[in-house]
Structure 1
Amino acid sequence: MNTVIIVLLSLSTVLFIISMFQKDKLSQFETEFEELTMTLLQENHNLKKRIGVLEEELLLEKQLIDAPVLSAKRKASPLVVHEVLKNQVIALHQQGMDLQRIASQSSLPVDTVKHIIKDRQDPAGRMI
């Protein structure tokens, strides 16, 4: 019985020493996984930078293309004015204030002020 215990003990010691010299496959796998993760993160970052550059280029191109169209639309269509602002313009006009002061107080162009006043008058020139 003693010989069996001694043989098992010596066998376990030999196996333990052999396991110390074997490569750790788990640490190798962890290292490869970390490298793969870093590579993917770098590629993702580079793609986001490229997309940002493309978006900026497209935005600049769109602004260059749309700028003449927008300026033509602004000239063609009158400014949309809120009803409260229209009422303020009419009230100031009824108080006898000149168009320049009305335009400066309401932050509207003089042409828009004239248009608002003209729209609120009947054909006889009286305010509606």
Structure 2
Amino acid sequence: MDLSMILMIIGIVCIVVSFFLKDTSKRIEKDLEDLSISIYQETNSLKKRLKIVEEELLLEPNFSIKSASTPKIKETSVQKKQPTTVQQKQVNEILVSQVIQLNKQGYPIEEISKMSTLSTQQILSILRDGR
């Protein structure tokens, strides 16, 4: 046999063997796809958890956000007729802290009265008592 026949036989054997061997690129593609799907799912899970934590922080009554404008607290007709001591105490504590903060920021009493829906006498009383 000559050398060209031996090389041709080796080439044919290599081609036949390549059909029976597993393709590693397909396995790598599948692993990469699984990894990207799992990262996507974890990212979505983290986003949901973060949203829940943000909602809890916004709903927590002791958590305060410092801002330039203070939101006004409106009373419904039910609250005016039958105020509960717990609700009244929470609103008063919030209003007291707002009035004190606005006074520290240099707002005049008339402006604080407009922002907090309290009378000037109530505001002066709060500032005098320093609660």
TM score, norm. by length of structure 1? 0.52
Which residue of 2 is the match for residue 71 of structure 1?
95
Matches within 5 A, 1:13-32: 13-32=12-31
Q: Could you say what secondary structure the match of 1:65 adopts?
A: coil
CA distance in 2, matches of 1:29, 1:5: 37
Matches within 5 A, 1:25-64: 25-61=24-60, 64=61
Q: Could you say what secondary structure the match of 2:62 adopts?
A: helix
Runs of at least 5 residues in structure 2 that lack an aligned partner in the other structure: 64-89, 125-131
Aligned residues: 88
Residue 28 of structure 1 deviates from its aligned partner by 0.2
Which residue of 2 is the match for residue 81 of structure 1?
107
CA distance in 2, matches of 1:16, 1:78: 84
CA distance in 1, matches of 2:9, 2:101: 98
Structure with larger Rg: 1
TM score, norm. by length of structure 2? 0.51
CA RMSD of aligned residues (A): 3.3
Which residue of 1 is the match for residue 66 of structure 2?
none
Which residue of 2 is the match for residue 124 of structure 1?
none
Runs of at least 5 residues in structure 1 that lack an aligned partner in the other structure: 83-102, 116-128
Residue 11 of structure 1 deviates from its aligned partner by 1.5
More helix by share: 1
CA distance in 2, matches of 1:14, 1:53: 62
1:86-126 Cα deviation digits (max 9, x unpaired): xxxxxxxxxxxxxxxxx8xx9x7484xxx9xxxxxxxxxxx
Residue 56 of structure 1 deviates from its aligned partner by 0.6
